[in-house]
Amino acid sequence: MIDVNANLSRWPFRRLVGDDPAGLVARLRIRNVTQAWAGTFDGIFHKDLWSANSRLVDDCRRYGGGILMPFGSVNPGLPNWQEDFRRCSEEYKMPGIRLHPNYHGYTLREPAFGELVHLAAAHRLIVQLVVCMEDERTQHPLMRVPPVDLSPLSDVLTSEPGVKVIVLNSDPMRNLEQLPGLASTGGVYFDISMVEGVGGIARLAQKVSVQRLLFGSNYPLFYFESALLKVSESGFTDNQSWAIFEENARRLLSA
């Protein structure tokens, strides 16, 4: 099983079970996860992304045991963000990067985002675009962060048809009309971490196809078992479940 949406470090608003790297890896092994694409909470809240990404790489090497695969944070709103991108790509040899536009204060319409997508396509890096981290109702009252507006994304991706994008933590009920158009661009995938409701993943698969879905847990911020149950209750065939759990992610990684 490949989990494309795991997180290291500490969530600043509460302690989480599994928020130490050794504990997180141990719990993933018990659940038969063979590879976890890991970002870092520090990449959301810290301004010094070089240090955040450096710690992420170090933790993946020290504790990962071959499971953790680092996805560094890049904020195109910061000065010299291109150097953070270069380090992720050239020094750390990461397979991709993770973006948090709402926490970092930029929109998908801004030229810097388009430049970042262009660089990712040129370096064949996966772009993980995080729509939100948790439901707005559970956020700290002094830090309400609305979800990312995905409406400009189709135009950006049309100009960069070779880029590989994973939309993480998207609530299909909020973006239902946008998702088929995004899926039709060819290189866009969706994780299941915030898909809710009985049969929710099955309905999403009808909109974007099973081949566009990836298993993502948003662990340890969310319960890992929740993502497992969403797949098991959806009525997929064994081949369809395997595609979500592993095949689609491996195909995307090798593309």
Q: Which amino acid belongs to residue 106?
A: Y
How far does Cα 91 stand from its chain's mean position?
21
Dist. CA 13–CA 164, nearest whole Å: 32
Longest dimension (CA), the chain: 48
Select 2-254's CATH number: 3.30.70.940, 3.20.20.140, 2.50.20.10, 3.20.20.70: 3.20.20.140
Alpha carbons within 13 angstroms on the beta-carbon side of residue 88 total 32
How open is the CA angle 108-96-114, to the nearest 5 degrees? 25
Per-residue pLDDT of the chain (255 residues; tens, 9 = 90+): 999 999 999 999 999 999 999 999 999 999 999 999 999 999 999 999 999 999 999 999 999 989 999 999 999 999 999 999 999 999 999 999 999 999 999 999 999 999 999 999 999 999 999 999 998 888 888 889 999 999 999 999 988 988 999 999 987 666 666 777 787 777 899 999 998 877 789 988 988 899 999 999 999 999 999 999 999 988 899 999 999 999 999 999 998
